[in-house]
Structure 1
Amino acid sequence: MKLINWYLSLILVLSFTSCKKMDSTYSQYVVKGGITYTGKAKSPMAYSGRNRVKIAWLRGADPNVNVAKIFWNNFIDSVVVPIPVSGDTISVVINDLPEKAYSFIIKTYNNRGDSSIPVELISGSYGERYQSQLLSRPINQLALNKDDKIVIDWGNADITNGAVYTEIKYTDISGTAKTARIPTSEAASSLSGVKWEMPFQYRTVFKPDSLTIDDFYTDYTTSGLISLDKRDWKIIAFSTEHDSGTNGVKNFIDGTAGTRWHSRAGGSSYPHYATIDMGAERTINQFGVWRTTFENGGDNRAPNKIQFLTSLDNITWTDQGIFDFNRLINGEQTFLLPLKPKARYFKFVGVSGPENNMVIGEISAYGL
């Protein structure tokens, strides 16, 4: 019994000694009173920009926080952000950031130097590399309709890189400079009150991501020739047509050279003509004519000589000249009218060709 008590006493002594040695080993790492953390940045957000990033967060509940530090580039770079005594949001814009992705670390501090748990945000800055990839949204067709509205048929926008709208600068009929913004979701648009005698300029606006603070722009492009909107046109007279379907004269103004106007085969001969009412008086600068591509990629039965006549009233006609037409090539062939006549009506005449009948694709007019 005495031997057992002795062993128990020895074990107690050794245990006490071991605990004292362990306390001595770790005592240097113990902070008296514990570690104090300040309130961390609340609901932080990072907003990308052009060689800059904006960082913002909500004021927390800790009244002792008086400063924050934001670190990036593995804590090599930093900025100090004073915390004002009032206001709900703290924000700072970090400028002169090379174009790349960044990891930002936010830590808040009180006047004793106690810091918060770090908060990480991922964002990035955009610059010349991104800018160089941007493509302006093209205009497929620019037309003036009978109501004096500019009608624009748009090409595809570069939405992959963040195209959001096209910005148009124009002059209205009172001479005032105006700006319109056309969303990329809009395939066609119209502008009223435009002084269409003057060219306008347009560019595409990009946002690289949904949280960006900066817009990016393509260079301005100046509008080109304005076509006269064929949706307002009517054919009011013609020589012949083979039938009113795939060979009808209506195909001559339907907007594509892939259809055709075929004069009656057998019993018809040159000249072949069609008279068009444009629906409003216009100044015509030039005509465009296409041979048809309806069959075999191109039809050489088009005329080799064509003529244009214009009229204000469909009674008195002015001859604008006879022109050579290359019936062996596809695509638009343009014919300038040096006198730039005012007209509501015009007449196309096929003067001569390789056969008695005529096959032709499309006609357009350009002007104001």
Structure 2
Amino acid sequence: MSQVIMQQIGEIRGLDQEAIQRAKLHISNLTVPPGSLGKLETMAIQLAGITGKVKPFFDRREVIIMAGDHGVCEEGVSAFPQEVTPQMVHNFLAGGAAVNVLARGAGAEVVCVDIGVNSEISHPDLLSRKIRYGTANMAQGPAMTYEEAIQSILIGVKVVEDAVKRDVQLFITGEMGIGNTTASSAVSCALTNISVKDAVGRGTGIDDARLLHKISVVEQALKVNAPNPLDPIDVLAKVGGLEIGGLVGVILGSAVHGCPVIIDGFISSAAALLAKAIHPTSADYMIVSHASHEQGHRLLLQELGLRPVLELDLRVGEGTGGVLCLHLVDAACRIINEMATFESAGISGESEDQK
């Protein structure tokens, strides 16, 4: 494991257990039957543990969209051409993408980072952190060097650090990169016992014939590169993507700074699996927004050991599911901040003979 990365993330602490217990006690006194708040209660307790506050609230939140291209697109694994990546980056910057629309409704800022798009992009609102012009074709050899993989993670960590200095308190993972479901499938298989056939899905909507081809490409990439499952950075370098590495850094950086990080869909979950492999405690800071319609996502979430909040059959990516989950984060915070207790409302609690 890279000493540079461990130096950056060595400060990740476990959740504040005292705050968790105080949150549980407070919730047990709210004017609802015990346990009836379900996932909202679970989320409120987790947020208390992350922040150390029984009554947290998040005024500043940010979607970080990492954008990068994939050399494996040479193998014809996507229904869309690679030029869609920079076109969508411009769409994000213009505020016209699905994630922009949903973010406006949820009161979140959208930040787009060019970490490896295979073209020149210039825009005053773009964070240009390009490492290289897309990855190499992982079906023929490593997607990137080990050093580039480390660099991609550190860029994500730094983006979060800079945002925290602007008082951002919560992060949502987003991504853009034609071909990235192929890389995410390969990462999933390299780190787990998930079979390639189970991990690979239709991505941008490929037909049956191309799906079979995509499966064979992932199998070839794993065979050619033999990524080491005991070294997540080796896995990232050999069969991952620059934007996936950037998201690993976003997740680790959020945990370092004691901020919740909402994980979006399949690609973000592959990044989350890498982050957990690098530093297991980082998983305590993750909220999985939804189970996507991408085939391997549920299996990936099982490996993470995390339950999704929503189930909407989404497979847009971009951070859309994560932004929708913000409404439920807000609901959990409002309940614990604003709901009356049995005592304050003058309502009788659970009777002793029912306990």
| TM-score, reference length from structure 1 | 0.20
Structure of higher CA gyration radius: 1
Q: Please report the TM-score for the alignment, with normalisation by the length of structure 2.
A: 0.21
Does 1 or 2 have the higher relative contact order (CA < 8 Å, sep 6+)? 2
Q: Which has the higher helix share?
A: 2
- Give the number of the structure whose residues are more often strand, by fraction: 1
